[in-house]
Amino acid sequence: MSGKIKATIDQIVRVRANGDNVRAMMTATKLLLKGVDPEAYTAASPDDPVVIAKLRTIAAEWGIKL
Amino acid sequence: MQSRTAFSLAHDPEVAAAAIVAGLAPIRPRLLVYFASPVLDHAELSARFKAAFPAADCIGCTTAGELVSGQMLKKSVVAMALPVETVAEAAVAVVRDVRSGDALAEAIRSLEATIGHPLRTVDPARYVGLILIDGMSGMEESVMETLGDVTDVVFIGGSAGDDLAFRSTRVSANGESYEHAAVLALLRPARPFEFLKTQSFVNLEKRLTPTKVDEATRTVLEFNGRAAADAYAEALGVPREDLATRFMSNPLGLMTGGRPYVRSPRVVTESGGIAFYCGIREGIELSVLQSTQIVEDTTRALANECANGPVSAIINFHCILRTLELEQEGQTEAYGRVFADVAMVGFSTYGEQFVGHINQTAAMLLIR
């Protein structure tokens, strides 16, 4: 399976940014600093369970329901 | 009324504070920001500023050099008075022990109590955060990450210095001075504000992936599965024994949107690892950078900002490694002149904060 990481990143950024481009950029930077590089994943990226778990943890910390 | 800056070269806190208070007149600040060499008694200086401006929030820290409109200074005190026409509202809290999550949570609750809202709901388009943090703590990443988790407000700031003694730094708030601490200030500027993060590097398009990291000591043990120093030296095409001589001109960058969050190497360890001045995440690819011209790059970056309208105040968090490079190249006077026409105050930091913790960067808050 593939694409779940990018989809999850996109969802987190979309919810946190709430339509604001600057906030979207800041959110992407925060993800990078937390150890998930949004630019490193595409729809073809394999569904690495470690990265997906990390994203779920971040989403929970930010109060985002996936 | 516009923000105003002043400085003093006196080492007696009473004399320095008096000179600065006189230099800031007739401004009645809503916020006073000051940066001082550790040659001055920081506790006394802090108390004197608060006594002079009891109605203002007064925040500051010790430095490794100071900046003020038109000048880079050493062993001085610099200050900026921001009137209510510039900063409409301010809340200040102290993290009394930066190693304590409870202390940070308490400071966050204090800010929230002052402004009457949870930080999570505060509009980042209307508010900005300042942070001054102990530069010897190694806790900048943790504190910034927590702040980034609880709010979308951007916190910008610097790690306090101690004139390169690397023993002890101090931060201060409202007349009190603290060690092992951080000061957080949540501001609602009365004018539009922006951020300028500038670093003078190009991407060499050579990549190193940390494959083994000791995050607690900010040390990379391996890049690309090899001893970190060997892989780094190979990427630069230099013998390993010469690697440290290239650290300042060839740090690494965490790339986002085509721009680096600079990670500066500090030392090669006995085991062939590399200790950095900021945290490195395992598995996140880094790019090798090449330094360019700080004065020219900063002039251009500031001109781009000023092309969008006048800037009334700048608070400049300027990496000590940039200062050292400017000193080596005899360009400190030229760098100071970049800011000759604007009210600017800043200091040479042991690290900069902008969303995260970074190195070899000038992170600036610009108020229109």
pLDDT 10s digits, B281-317: 999 999 999 999 999 999 999 999 988 899 999 999 9
Test B152 with A16 for CB contact under 8 angstroms.
yes
The arithmetic mean of pLDDT across residues A48-65, rounded, is 93
In chain A, residues with a C-beta closer than 8 Å to the C-beta of B356 are: 29-30, 33
Q: Per residue in B188-225, pLDDT tens?
A: 999 999 999 999 999 999 999 999 999 989 999 999 99
pLDDT interval class at B255 (50, 70, 90)? very high
Mark out chain B residues that contact chain A at CB-CB < 8 A.
120, 124-125, 141, 144-145, 148-149, 152, 154, 254-257, 261, 281-285, 355-356
pLDDT of A66: 83
Please tell me which of the candidates A25, A40, A62 has its beta carbon nearest to residue B257. Answer: A25
Test A40 with B285 for CB contact under 8 angstroms.
yes
| Least Cα separation, residue A41 to chain B (angstroms) | 12
Burial of B102 (0-12, 13-18, 19+ CB in 10 A): exposed
pLDDT of B292: 96
Q: Per residue in B53-103, pLDDT tens?
A: 999 999 999 999 999 999 999 999 999 999 999 999 999 999 999 999 999
Is B352 within 8 Å of B319 (Cβ atoms)?
yes
Burial of B116 (0-12, 13-18, 19+ CB in 10 A): exposed
pLDDT interval class at B1 (50, 70, 90)? confident
In chain A, residues with a C-beta closer than 8 Å to the C-beta of B261 are: 29, 32-33
Q: Please name the residue of chain A whose CA is at the shortest distance from the CA of residue B260.
A: A29
The arithmetic mean of pLDDT across residues A20-39, rounded, is 92
Task: Say whether pLDDT at A1 is over 90.
Answer: no
Quote the tokens at residue B80.
């900026």
Test B355 with A29 for CB contact under 8 angstroms.
yes
User: In angstroms, rounded to a whole number, what is the distance separating the alpha carbons of residues B120 and B128?
Assistant: 13
Q: Does A28 touch chain B (CB under 8 A)?
A: yes
Please tell me which of the candidates A23, A33, A37 has its beta carbon nearest to residue B124. Answer: A23
pLDDT of B157: 98
Q: Please name the residue of chain A whose CA is at the shortest distance from the CA of residue B256.
A: A29
Is B294 within 8 Å of B200 (Cβ atoms)?
yes
The contacts of residue B228 (CB under 8 Å, 6+ apart) are B210, B220, B221, B222, B272, B273, B274
Q: Please name the residue of chain B whose CA is at the shortest distance from the CA of residue A17.
A: B152
Q: Per residue in A5-24, pLDDT tens?
A: 999 999 999 999 988 888 89
The arithmetic mean of pLDDT across residues B226-252, rounded, is 95
